[in-house]
Structure formats: C-alpha cells, structure tokens
C-alpha cells in the first residue's frame, strides 16, 4: 500500500475541537483528583461499603465537571 504524504490530508483542529479536548482532559484530571481526595475524606469520615462508593463517585463527577468546565473555558479563551 502506498504511503500518503503527511501534509496533504492533515487539517488543523478547529476551535470547537480544542475546547472539547480541553474539557476531556480537565474532566479526566478532575476525576482522578476527586478519587484521591474524595476517597481519603470519605474514609476519614468513616464511610464504608455502598455509602463510600456513592460518596466517592459523586465527588469524582463534581470534580471532573468543574475542572473540565474551567479547562474548556481556558482553552476557548486561547483559541
């Protein structure tokens, strides 16, 4: 199969693509930090079992959404 030259079919990402990527990266960072901090704080409060899982999941989603939103806004400003 012939090799296609690199510069012909490549497109630069649009501003919307950059904003989506910023949100995705921010969401992943927020999820991981929410898992760490939320897990430790829930264990410190004495939560166990299902209550621990629900609490940590809620904190992870809140952290991911918040940080993802701010990363998307920051990426949009840079466009």
Residue-wise pLDDT tens digits, 30-61 = 999 999 999 999 999 998 999 999 999 999 99
Question: Is the confidence at residue 7, as pLDDT, over 90?
Answer: no
Q: Exposure of 11 by Cβ count < 10 A (0-12 exposed, 13-18 middle, 19+ buried)?
A: exposed
What is the Cβ-side half-sphere exposure of residue 72, based on CA atoms within 13 angstroms? 16
The model's pTM: 0.80
pLDDT at residue 48, rounded to an integer:
92
């Amino acid at each position: 199969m012939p090799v296609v030259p690199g510069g012909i079919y490549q497109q630069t990402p649009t501003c919307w693509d950059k904003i989506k990527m910023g949100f995705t990266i921010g969401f992943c960072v927020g999820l991981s930090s929410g898992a760490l901090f939320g897990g430790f704080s829930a264990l410190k409060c004495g939560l166990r079992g299902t209550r621990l899982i629900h609490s940590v999941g809620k904190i992870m989603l809140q952290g991911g959404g918040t940080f993802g939103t701010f990363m998307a806004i920051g990426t949009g400003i840079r466009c």
